[in-house]
Structure 1
């Protein structure tokens, strides 16, 4: 197979290796003896022998990639004693200068821009690539290949030839619906993406970027132009293109809530522009030009998803049919973007959102010719092909858009996320999609996104490699690659237990668990449901507590990802406690005889249910208060303070619910007389 590679990529192949070609997408005894590689490389031969890592020195290189050079030095400094005088060379070379970032019309083949080859033998390490980007990706693979003990790290003799299966491997971060990341946190995400070979970062903003001429939209949390430039440069060094992902149709409520602009909306104070109004067209064109100037990316995502007001605002659009209006608006802005040297993208709502392409399939034939459709769908389903058929049939370029399910869940729903990525990506390959965009939204304004870093890595790796991910092995391999050897096994176990707990919580409470956790557990329909899922809640708590224990005992010291995962485990445990306790509290009331004794009341309702301490309500009050503090601390590590008060309000309302419930039990029971009728749960809930 290696003989099929371009000469440039096999030039440094070491013919003396006695090797076996390893299947990279199915477990094998030979492969399991070596360190895992994520993403899987295209072609790999292991030889007989290994090279001591600490014998290596970085030789003179013609690589133009300073980040790759710096990371090789970092690897050697991290693993090797500075007093050692190594003499075996690490050589980094490439064929073509320039091409740091993906272009507007990227392709991928064995000899394309990001391809590379690695040879490791007794005489050293030779990395050769088509460009500096390929050299950088080769170094990421080299880092993962290190084996042996910490005091004697080794690199196995090997030959690798690798290139991406998809030219565009993107990740989108929502910077508008919920918490606003700090610049430092964005850089952490970029490091994660670079490690697993993503090459695009879609920066999603609605009205949260300081544009010239709109002082009323200014908030303390807004992104400054200086912030954007710093992020763009940091990403460029890691071969990641920062793509502006903006909204130029819907999702503009922060503009229209201002009275000055309210009549420019399709519905007053709504969230959607009225494209028939030339005043809003002027504003949106101005924004588009400012975005194009600030972001050097050759792509520009125009938005256009979820125009829920499209059919409801007919009186303001001069009688233009909804589909015609939508298409005219897209054609106009796509034309402006193209004139500014940008290739336009747009969200393609199908089976989701406003169902635009379900309602108006004829739109596909009239789309701007160079525009890229981003069909999006974030739930788990057996087959995603129907989401792409319309666009493939009309020869519309496709960027399949997957979702990390943490925006509306207590903890990341890795199970649904992995199914979504694997299935949608498989459909995309069949439809000749040009790439994949993995998204992370903040709709609940509660998610702590560090908890989902494993899913960020999963999406990046899935889009690079040719064959499907092995999701059943992913946590173990990810933890081994991304964390210290001492902590890896426990972190992998914790991720598995968190996945199980979140899945059980979804079964017990229904979808959107991050909202359901705040529900009144005594609402009759919900109480009936959780009684049916009592075992699920119990098992979810056990899984959450096991995850917390694993994370607390990693012995790895401070770790950003671990700290956030601990909060996730505690939140899942609290949610399980809340609903299990609600079942038990209701049972305490039901256990009272028709005319209970004072002892019955004292034991079941006062001591067991509502005592000031060591009762069910006391536990919930204590735990909710402690979690608010832990959650807030973790928030401020990752985000700007904006919207923290909104998140804290939910925790405080939770505490207030249980404080009021406790006081209501006391009110109902304090004057209880022997032989009186028993108080009921309804009596307590009726106290105002």
Structure 2
């Protein structure tokens, strides 16, 4: 019997006698305590139910459970309804992993980390429909996350500040309340992330909100709010009241990451003082409202850049402030982890799903980053928050699921012994019902851009929307045929696969292949240096027209998949990138072969 599921079980003992889960039913006590319990088994085999699954309350820790599975009775031991639900998910996953051919077993399992959250960026790309939010919550529960944290720069509709998110289709308070109520049915907490200093760039372009932005000496609007402006504090107070009205008392994550402009304008000493003063104000206001401040730690422990202040200054914030240390790189060491712990701070670790500014999840880097960061932490933090970012705005959020599931495994079991190959195969078995052989067909889809050399992890993707009037700058362009051939094969391989579940995430891989293929064709067929003669340019004209036609097909696939699960918000921006490139390709095609325009544009 295969005992490998996600997240990895702490302890399982398999016995001899066989049984099939499809012959079991949930006793009334379970259904009364957890009305959604039957939905947990939607993907499992169905049969004549003869034997009971029972729940016995036992004084275990809050999320610990035990299962004693016998061929004619399955007993779950758990103290809480949430732990009961986790036990049911384990039964479901073991059944799926074995085509329901099980043997009697005993499981003892519990999480190593109390707080297991997903930070979901809904501000720089897609915003889910209500139904899609529901589906995300159900999937997170299956992989034993306990907290869903939507990241909202401009996607919460504030009644007190109507201009906030005017062009981003923000979610209303009433709708958020409905999503929170649904999450509660699935034993999932929801806590908000609302950035109350930096990443203000979208909002600072709105007329009524621009006065809240910090300005440079020349009047240029920055990407942070101005902590010296009293109007900023007035706005924050109104926002906090509305956020707490919806999400309730508890931890409120108030951002604070990457306030680069703050120290550019004021310098590190004054910028540091203003940052600490600003978040001290927020912490104190939250305390008045029976809430706790959570914030990013990078202003004191930066994974990149020169905008931070010394790590020991984090202690100047009010006692009890909770810090989230993020670092999404795969490194041999993570020295800031110990540096922050040495300050005796309340701390959470945050790796990344590795889908931002990419056509797909970099599954291997995500695995190494997550496992490495948790190993460096060595159980010292209060929990883990998997960060799922949408920088670039055009990568489908459905592509993040490999990284999210990796996070689910390691925040439950940071010492998990699963290798990268184990995780890769287990994800595809659990999520789609694929065999190991089928899963391996998808390896080049996720890692297409590492098949040849690259300057950095985003180099290949960035080439897609580069202006064709600029010569191709991709470093390893001479070997681009490797990616072209791999994506041609991947297209055929995808057509041969038929997932049993989670079709939306699988369909998103078709877009990965389409966009990677287009980009590889663009690199292969447009000039790598300045065109010097009309004769030299004529073949590039046809190539540009062919690429323009291909681009329209890619855009239509992207549009179709975008709206399958998401609202209109941000699609206009994404579509504009396609439209601009389409126009540029056609303009290039005209200019590169017409003498009159040749010298002007080429």
TM-score between both structures, scaled by the size of structure 2: 0.91
The equivalent residue for 2:191 is 243
- Out of 109, 118, 121, the position equivalent to 1:174 is 121
How far residue 332 of structure 1 moved from its aligned partner, in angstroms, is 1.6
Q: Say whether residues 1:359 and 2:302 are aligned partners.
A: no
Q: 1:437 to 1:491 in 2, by over 3 A?
A: farther
- Verify: 1:635 aligned to 2:594, yes or no: no
Partner SS, residue 90 of structure 1: strand
Cα deviations by residue, 1:281-336 (Å, 9 ceiling, x for unpaired): 12212211221121026211011112222234449xxx982222211211121122
1:140-539, aligned counterparts within 5 Å?
140-146=89-95, 153-217=100-164, 218-219=166-167, 221-267=169-215, 269-296=221-248, 298-314=250-266, 321-349=270-298, 350-352=301-303, 358-384=308-334, 386-429=335-378, 432-468=380-416, 469-484=418-433, 487-489=434-436, 492-504=439-451, 507=454, 511=458, 513-520=460-467, 523=470, 526-527=472-473, 529-530=474-475, 532-535=476-479, 537-539=480-482
* 1:8 counterpart residue number: none
Q: Which deviates further from its counterpart, 627-636 or 658-667?
A: 658-667
Matched, 1:88 2:51: yes
TM superposition shift of 1:374:
0.7
Contact 2:2-2:98 within 8 A present in 1 as well? no
Deviations 1:166-208 (A, max 9, x none): 1111111112122322222222221221111111111111232
> Are residues 148 and 637 of structure 1, via their aligned partners in 2, closer, same or farther at CA, if it must alter by over 3 Å?
closer
SS in 2 for 1:145: helix
Q: Against the structure 1 CA distance between its residues 223 and 490, is the aligned structure 2 distance closer, same or farther, given a 3 Å change threshold? A: farther
Cα distance in 1 between the residues matched to 2:170 and 2:243 = 15
Q: CA RMSD in A?
A: 2.9
Contact kept, 8 Å, 2:163 with 2:208, in 1: the verdict is no
Highest Rg: 1 or 2? Answer: 1
CA distance in 2, matches of 1:437, 1:380: 17
> Quick one: distance in 2 between partners of 1:79 and 1:458?
26
Secondary structure in structure 2 of the residue aligned to 1:89:
strand
- Structure 2: gaps (5+ residues): none
Q: 1:50 aligns with which of 18, 39, 50?
A: 18
Deviation of the 1:223 alpha carbon: 0.6
2:297 match: secondary structure? strand
- Say if 1:500 and 1:273 are closer, same or farther in 2 by CA, change over 3 A: closer
Structure 1 unaligned spans of 5+: 1-32, 97-110, 670-682
Contact kept, 8 Å, 1:305 with 1:354, in 2: the verdict is no
The whole-number CA distance in structure 1 between the counterparts of 2:232 and 2:96 is: 59
- State the distance in 1 between where 2:30 and 2:592 align: 77
1:305 aligns to what SS in structure 2? Answer: coil
Q: CA deviation at 1:148?
A: 8.7
Work out the CA distance in 2 between the residues paired with 1:302 and 1:148. 40
Question: How many residues are treated as equivalent by the alignment?
Answer: 593
Whole-Å separation in 2 of the counterparts to 1:163 and 1:387: 28
State the 1:140 CA deviation.
Answer: 0.9
Q: Distance in 2 between matches of 1:326 and 1:428?
A: 26
Aligned equivalents of 1:126, 1:278: Cα separation in 2 = 60
The 1:287/1:121 distance shift into structure 2, 3 A limit, reads: same
Per-residue deviation, 1:439: 0.9
The question of whether the paired residues in 1 share the 8 Å contact of 2:57 and 2:79 is answered with yes
Task: State whether residues 366 and 403 of structure 2, in contact with CA within 8 Å, keep that contact through their aligned partners in structure 1.
Answer: yes
Matched residue, 1:136: 85
Alpha-carbon separation, structure 1, partners of 2:296 and 2:344: 16
User: CA separation in 1, counterparts of 2:189 and 2:311?
Assistant: 32
In the alignment, what sits opposite 1:542? 485
Give CA-to-partner distance per residue, 1:507-546, whole Å, 9 cap, x none: 167635433322246645x44x54x4422x2222233233
- Counterpart in the other structure of 2:552: 625
| Inter-CA distance 641–63: structure 2 relative to 1 (3 Å threshold) | closer
Does residue 646 of structure 1 match 2:573? yes
CA deviations on 1:596-627 (whole Å, 9 max, x unpaired) are: 9xxxx5xx765x5444xxxx334312211111
Deviates further, 178-187 or 279-288:
178-187
The answer to whether the Cα contact below 8 Å between 2:364 and 2:420 also exists between their aligned partners in 1 is no
